[in-house]
Amino acid sequence: MFGYTRGSVHFRACRAIFDGMSKTLRTSVPLLPSRYGRRIARRCESVLKKNKRIVVTGGAGFLGSHLCERLVDEGHDVICLDNFFTSQKTNVTHLLGRPNFELIRHDVIHPIFLEVDEIYNMACPAAPGHYQYNPVKTTKTSVLGAINTLGMAKRCRAKILQASTSEIYGDPEVHPQPESYRGAVNPIGPRACYDEGKRVAETLFMDYKRMNRVNIRLVRIFNTYGPRMHPFDGRVVSNFIRQALEGEDITIFGDGSQTRSFCYRDDLVEGLIRMMNGPDEFTGPVNLGNPGEYTIKQLAEKIIEITGAKSKLIYQPLPQDDPTRRQPDISLAKEKLRWEPKVPLAEGLQKTIDWFRTIDFEAYRPPTPNY
Ligand SMILES: NC(=O)c1ccc[n+]([C@@H]2O[C@H](COP(=O)([O-])OP(=O)(O)OC[C@H]3O[C@@H](n4cnc5c(N)ncnc54)[C@H](O)[C@@H]3O)[C@@H](O)[C@H]2O)c1
């Protein structure tokens, strides 16, 4: 009776019994002398406290590590799975001493058997330089990673959330992008390993829901930035900040008129948790991002202003299939999750720059060839 996972019929029955118990009975259960009584008491306590066992794949990454931190602080038992392809262990070393945190080196393209209540599937290289490093591996990570984590969710009857991306909209013809827009992705271009991998992952999530009634959530994340971004990941915010702090000129691809929207990591993590804990009927996909739209040139100028750098702007050709505009329509997130970003760009950039000032760039390594 006590091995049931949260959400199973037996577990729900068990919970209903405990919830229905009178207060007197509930307080007297722990006093039962038998081993059986003590086990009831432990289960009762964990149900009442609502702490869950949660897996975060890619949990040592930029977003994953903040998510783990938040869930550990909330008292959940958190298992972080990561192969450290694009991240450093230092992102989670501060959590290693916590009794409710575990770190497992694991590649999500292989199955793993764990007993869990919830899964956040965050594992995937996210920056173009990282995901184009080994494009075949990137597709495997998205597709096999989704199959393996969905298999775990099906077996444990766990809830599972997929970190999808605004890249599934490709170079959009619709602006801003609502979830109903089906996108304009080049399936044979250099970004396709990421964009198409994430699109297939969404398909798999929907098919596991339709076929196996797996309790899923799909979140399409738009550009998010903050402390613990990899300084050499080539993403625009980390690149500009590192160049400014190192006194280098700032490289703009194209003429800088292309736009992006930037969401601070705390806002994004709040959105992920709200989505996971939202009603089961609302599976998404839902856009999470900050609708404030800036040109790349404006972003560079803001970073120069905050850092006080003397950097000049230098222009290089735009990479193939680079989207010209990107801005989320977040009406659905506002309506269903009562979520919207709170941190203004200047404040988020200041916190990110403060963190970048504390790190040693030499300690960060690029992805290694063996992965
Ligand atoms: N940050 C953003 O702006 C953004 C935007 C859209 C989507 N996302 C999605 O959010 C997730 C997290 O992104 P992030 O920005 O934190 O990137 P990140 O690169 O910092 O984190 C990804 C993590 O996944 C791990 N990983 C990669 N391949 C793996 C594998 N095969 N097995 C196990 N672990 C693996 C990496 O080592 C890293 O720790 C990704 O799935 C990404 O696609 C992020």
| Residue 234 CA to ligand 1 centre (angstroms) | 14
Evaluate: CB of 193 within 6 angstroms of ligand 1. no
Evaluate: CB of 122 within 6 angstroms of ligand 1. yes
| Residue 222 CA to ligand 1 centre (angstroms) | 13
Q: What value does the mean pLDDT take over residues 282-286?
A: 97
Residue 290 scores a pLDDT above 70: yes
Q: Which domains does the chain have, with CATH numbers?
A: 51-363 (3.40.50.720)
> Which residue did the predictor score with more confidence, 54 or 231?
54
Q: What value does the mean pLDDT take over residues 62-68?
A: 98
Q: What is the pLDDT of residues 181-228, one digit of tens each?
A: 999 999 999 999 999 999 999 999 999 999 999 999 999 999 999 999
Evaluate: CB of 243 within 6 angstroms of ligand 1. no
Instruction: DSSP letter for 289, please.
Output: S
In contact, 112 and 94? CB cutoff 8 Å? no
Mean pLDDT estimate for the chain: 88
**Which residues have C-beta within 8 Å of that of residue 6, sequence separation ≥ 6?**
52, 117, 157, 158
User: Exposed (0-12), middle (13-18) or buried (19+): which is 100, by Cβ within 10 Å?
Assistant: middle
Q: What is the pTM of this model?
A: 0.86
Residue nearest to atom 32 of ligand 1 (CA): 107
Q: Peptide bond before 319: cis, by omega within 30 degrees of 0?
A: no
Residue 40 scores a pLDDT above 80: no
| Residue 105 CA to ligand 1 centre (angstroms) | 15
Tell me what pLDDT residue 129 has: 86
Residue nearest to atom 9 of ligand 1 (CA): 163
Evaluate: CB of 294 within 6 angstroms of ligand 1. no
**Which has the closest alpha carbon to 18: 41, 44, 36?**
44
Evaluate: CB of 86 within 6 angstroms of ligand 1. yes
Grade residue 323 by pLDDT with cuts at 50, 70 and 90: confident
Tell me what pLDDT residue 209 has: 98
Q: What value does the mean pLDDT take over residues 156-162?
A: 97
Evaluate: CB of 202 within 6 angstroms of ligand 1. no
Tell me what pLDDT residue 371 has: 44
Q: Which of 57, 88, 120, 122 to mutate to test the pocket of ligand 1 (most atoms within 8 A of CB)?
A: 122
Evaluate: CB of 299 within 6 angstroms of ligand 1. no
Query: Where is average pLDDT lowest: 156-165, 172-181, 271-280?
Result: 172-181
Residue 194 is a catalytic residue: yes
User: Exposed (0-12), middle (13-18) or buried (19+): which is 107, by Cβ within 10 Å?
Assistant: buried
Q: Considering the candidates 131, 169, 194, 208, report the single residue annotated as catalytic.
A: 194
Measured in whole angstroms, how far is the alpha carbon of residue 314 from the centre of its chain?
A: 32
Q: What value does the mean pLDDT take over residues 78-100?
A: 95
